[in-house]
């Protein structure tokens, strides 16, 4: 990539992601950390230019927005539901309908069927794809990001 670009990454605890943003930085891709679903919606609805792509975790804090009040309690049965709802809402923001969106999280893959279910849920919500950090390296993510970002 010739020029530096910035992509938003919604993550509750970005320090767990370690080498993933470092690998993107090596390619000239800066990460704008957003820590809650509410903050993400505020940023995307603010009228700022639409980013070239978005990365989001699934286990994210709902934040203070009343839009996510139903997700603020104990979500132990579906801990990734806030991330899925964020993806759904992003897809309804004008200009974001076709922005590349990747969901990535450290959800423990109990088996292939479980992983497939999460992938299907992400795609139905509006993500282009889902990856688990347990079997998806920082270099894998960097390669995929460079493929998904529209070239000038």
pLDDT in tens, 3-27: 679 999 998 877 667 788 889 999 9
- Copy the structure tokens of residue 143: 């390669």
What length does the chain have? 152
Please tell me the total count of domains within the chain. Answer: 1
125 pLDDT higher than 50: yes
The answer to whether the CB of 61 falls within 8 A of the CB of 37 is: yes
- What's the start-to-end Cα distance of the chain, in Å? 10
Exposed, middle or buried, 128 (CB in 10 Å: 0-12/13-18/19+)? Answer: middle
pTM of the model: 0.85
- Give the distance between the most distant pair of CA atoms in the chain: 45
pLDDT for the residue numbered 31: 93
pLDDT for the residue numbered 33: 93
Range of the domain at 120: 5-148
Q: How far apart are CA 44 and CA 37, in angstroms?
A: 11
Q: Say which CATH number the domain at 49 has.
A: 3.40.50.2300
Residues 81-97: pLDDT tens digits?
788 999 999 999 999 99
116 pLDDT higher than 80: no
Per-residue pLDDT band for 29 (boundaries 50, 70, 90) equals: very high
Q: What are the residues whose beta carbons fall under 8 Å from the beta carbon of 51, sequence distance 6 or more?
A: 6, 7, 8, 32, 99
Q: How far apart are CA 92 and CA 1, in angstroms?
A: 29
152 pLDDT higher than 90: no
Residues 57-89: pLDDT tens digits?
888 887 766 666 665 554 433 455 788 999 999
Helix/strand/coil for 138: helix
pLDDT for the residue numbered 77: 37
């Amino acid at each position: 990539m010739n020029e530096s670009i910035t992509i938003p990454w919604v993550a509750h605890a970005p320090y767990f992601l370690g080498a993933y943003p470092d690998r993107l930085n090596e390619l000239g891709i800066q990460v704008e950390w957003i820590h809650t679903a509410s903050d993400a919606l505020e940023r995307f609805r603010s009228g700022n230019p639409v980013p070239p792509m978005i990365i989001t975790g699934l286990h994210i804090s709902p934040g203070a927005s009343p839009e996510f009040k139903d997700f603020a309690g104990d979500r132990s049965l579906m801990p990734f539901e806030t991330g899925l709802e964020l993806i759904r809402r992003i897809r309804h923001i004008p200009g974001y309908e076709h922005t590349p969106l990747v969901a990535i999280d450290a959800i423990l893959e109990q088996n292939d069927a479980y992983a497939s279910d999460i992938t299907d849920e992400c795609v139905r919500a509006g993500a282009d794809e889902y990856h688990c950090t347990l079997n998806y390296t920082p270099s894998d993510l960097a390669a995929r990001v460079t493929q998904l970002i529209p070239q000038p």
